[in-house]
Structure 1
Amino acid sequence: MSERVPTYTADQVRAAERPLIDAGVPLMHRAAAALADVVRAELATPDTVLTLTGVLEPVIRESPVALRPRVLVLAGSGDNGGDALYAAARLTGVADVDVLLVSERFHETALAAAVAAGVRRVDLPEVDDDLRHYALVVDGIVGIGSSADSALRGRARGVVTAIRDDLRRGGRMPRLIAVDLPSGLHPDTGAADDAVLAASVTVTFGAVKAGLATGRGPELCGDVVLVDIGLGSALQSVEPAGAASVSRIVTVWQDA
C-alpha cells in the first residue's frame, strides 16, 4: 500500500542535512545500510528483469543450478557513489558484487571498504559482455548534485549510453535500483535527456525529491522507497514543493 508524503527541492534537502553533517552524524552510513537492505530484499524476490519498455519479465536461466546472484554497482564521484560503495561492502555475504567506477574521482574510503569486503572492480568492456548475467544493478552515479544541469557527462554518460544501447539491441536489463534518484534526472524539475536508466526501485534518502514526482520522474523512478535518515525536524518548518506516493518508508536513524 502506498503512502502520500511531501516532496522537497534539492536546496531544501541540502539545508536540512547540513547541521547533521557538521555535527558528524553518519548520514552516509545510514543511507548505505538502508540501501543494502533494499537490495537484499530485491534479490530475495522471484527472478525478473526489466525490459527497455519497462515490463518485468521472468529470467530464463541457462542452468538449473542455483548460483549466487551477481550485483553490479555503478559508482560516481560524489556522496551517492559513497552510499553505493558502502552498501556494496554490506552485500558480499549474499551476492557476488562488482563495481564500475564512472569517474576518476571516487570516495576512496568507501571503495577501500568495498574491496576489503570482497567487491571486485570491473571496467565497461566486462560489463558489456556480462550485463545479462547480473541479477541487479545499483545506479549510484549521481544524486541531487550541485549543478543546475543534471545531464550526465564524460565517462558516466558513456557508461549509461553503452548500457542503454545494449538494451536497444535487444538485451535484457537486470532490475535496477537508483540511489536517491535515477542519475541524470533533475532533482527539482524531473527533466532528463536520453542518457538515464529507468529504475525499478528508487531508494531516496531524507525526503522525496520533487523531481521524482514531476516531469519524467514518475516514468523513470519506479517504486519509491523513502529512507528516513533523521531530517524530519529540520524539514518541519519548510514549505514542501509538492507531494508524492511512496511504496514504503524505512527509518534507520533511531537505531544508528
Structure 2
Amino acid sequence: MILGYSAAQLRAAEAPLLEAGVPLMQRAAAGLAREARALVGRDDARVVLLVGTGNNGADALYAGAILARAGADVTIVRTGDRVHDAAIDAALGAGAHEFPPTATADRAGSAAPDGIARLVSSADLVFDGILGTGTSAHPALRGTARDIVAAIIAAGSPTPVVAVDIPSGIHPDDGSVPDPCVLRAALTVTFGGYKAGLLLAPASGFAGEIRLVDIGLSEQLAAMEPLVTR
C-alpha cells in the first residue's frame, strides 16, 4: 500500500526534525544521487542540474556535488534569480561548473533557452530541481524557468529527466497540471513520503517511476491521515 500526503503534512512532519538539527536535506541529496547513479549506470556521466530558488534546487545541487566527486561532469543551470548559497558552494567546490560560466543570462546569448536545450540534449541525465512543494498555490512554471522547459520540450531531448521530489509544474496535493509545460520524468525521487499529487492523474503521467527516499519521517507521518491510499 502506498500512502500519499499533502505538502503541508510533510512540512509538519519535517518541522521537529529540522528544529532538532537533523540533516534532512543531506539525507535527501544522498538518496537522490544514489538513484540517479543507478539510472545512468556509470560514474562519469554528463549531468545537467536545472536549479530553482527553493529547497528542490538545493537538493539537486547537493546531489550534484556527490556525483561530481564520484567523477560525473556536472553542469549547473540557474532558472531563477538566486540559489541556495551553501548548496551551490558545495557543488562548485566538488568540481561542478555553471552554464554559462559567469552565471549571467546575457553573455553572448549563451544562456538562451535554446542553448540550454542543446546542453540538455547532449547530457546523459538532467535533474529537474526547478520548483517544489512550496509552490502549491501556484505550481505552474513562469518566466525564465518556463522558457527553458519549453525549449527543452520543443527540442525533443532524449535525455532522461530525474524529477527532484516532484516534477516542476504539478500540484503536489491534487495532481492537477495547470500548464502542460512540464518535463516528463523518467524517474521521480521523492523524499520522506509520497506526495499525494504524484499518485493522481494527470500529474502521475509526468512522474515516471517513483522512488521514495526515507529521510526519517515515518514516525511523524504514521500519526497523520493520508490524502490518498493506493
* SS, match of residue 173 in structure 1: coil
* AA aligned opposite 2:34: D
1:151 and 1:128 map into 2 onto residues whose CA distance is 19
The partner residue of 1:19 within 16, 20, 44 is 16
2:2 and 2:117 map into 1 onto residues whose CA distance is 38
Which residue is 1:41 aligned to? 38
Q: Is the Cα contact below 8 Å between 2:188 and 2:210 reproduced in 1?
A: yes
* AA aligned opposite 1:36: A
Deviations 1:62-105 (A, max 9, x none): xxxxx942110111101111100000000012311101011111
* Offset, 1:147: 4.1
Which residue is 2:82 aligned to? 105
2:31 and 2:120 map into 1 onto residues whose CA distance is 25
* SS, match of residue 195 in structure 1: coil
Which residue is 2:46 aligned to? 70
1:205 and 1:97 map into 2 onto residues whose CA distance is 22
Q: How does 1:119-198 map to 2 (within 5 A)?
A: 119-123=96-100, 124-125=111-112, 126-167=115-156, 172-192=157-177, 193-198=179-184
* AA aligned opposite 2:226: P
Deviations 1:133-161 (A, max 9, x none): 10110111111014412111122111111
* SS, match of residue 174 in structure 1: coil
Q: Which runs of 5+ in 2 are unaligned?
A: 101-110
* SS, match of residue 224 in structure 1: strand
Q: Is the Cα contact below 8 Å between 2:136 and 2:171 reproduced in 1?
A: no
* AA aligned opposite 2:49: V
Structure 1 stretches of 4+ with a deviation exceeding 2 A read 123-132
- When the two chains are superposed, the root-mean-square deviation of aligned CA atoms in Å is 1.5
Q: Which runs of 5+ in 1 are unaligned?
A: 46-66, 245-256
Structure 1 residue 91 corresponds to structure 2 residue 76:
no
2:76 and 2:147 map into 1 onto residues whose CA distance is 16
* SS, match of residue 103 in structure 1: coil
1:233 and 1:68 map into 2 onto residues whose CA distance is 37
* Offset, 1:116: 0.8
1:39 and 1:24 map into 2 onto residues whose CA distance is 26
TM-score (norm: length of structure 2): 0.89
2:224 and 2:10 map into 1 onto residues whose CA distance is 10
* AA aligned opposite 1:69: A
Which residue is 1:31 aligned to? 28
Percent same amino acid among aligned pairs?
Answer: 45
Q: Is the Cα contact below 8 Å between 1:40 and 1:94 reproduced in 2?
A: no
* AA aligned opposite 2:78: L
1:189 and 1:173 map into 2 onto residues whose CA distance is 29
TM-score (norm: length of structure 1): 0.81
